[in-house]
Amino acid sequence: MEKTPARLTTKPSWLLNQLAVHAHRLASDGFGELGARGYHYRILAALDEFGVASQAELGRRCNMDRSDVVAAINELAGQGFVERTPDPEDRRRNLVTLTKAGDRQLRRLDRALDRTQDHLLEPLSAEDRQDLTRLLTRLFLHHQRG
């Protein structure tokens, strides 16, 4: 195996990027086994946590482009995981609701993502995993504020 230059492997930004690529691949594979994608998980999770939402609200909550939201909702609606109805207050908007089948799919996706986390963090103890999550959250919140 080729060696990576030490000046890269000692940089947190490089390590985070490499791990992000690996984590994305693991999550995509886990979701793919269930016929789903990460966008599906984001939308189902947002609907479960926050309730009925417009497509625009889902895009903002899930940090997704409008066209990706529409495509993912079309796929989820086609599988019976969400229902889309016109907003009675503004017929130009659609409201999206999680169905019982969607709730079951979300639980399956949660289990797949939990397996992914276990695989990704396998060499870490439970305490190290909590520390890593705490530190990553702190970094994320700092940079999210701008």
> Over the stretch 92-112, which tens digit does the pLDDT of each residue have?
899 999 999 999 999 999 999
- Give CA–CA dist 78/99, Å, rounded: 12
Look at residue 74 in the predicted model and tell me its pLDDT.
96
> Over the stretch 56-101, which tens digit does the pLDDT of each residue have?
999 999 999 999 999 999 999 999 999 999 989 888 899 999 999 9
Residue range 23-115 forms a domain whose CATH class is mainly alpha
Phi, psi (rounded to 5 degrees) for 88: -65, -20
3-state secondary structure 5-34: CHHHHCCHHHHHHHHHHHHHHHHHHHHHCC
Cβ neighbours of residue 8 under 8 Å, at least 6 residues apart? 14
Tell me if the pTM is above 0.85.
yes
pLDDT at 146 over 90: no
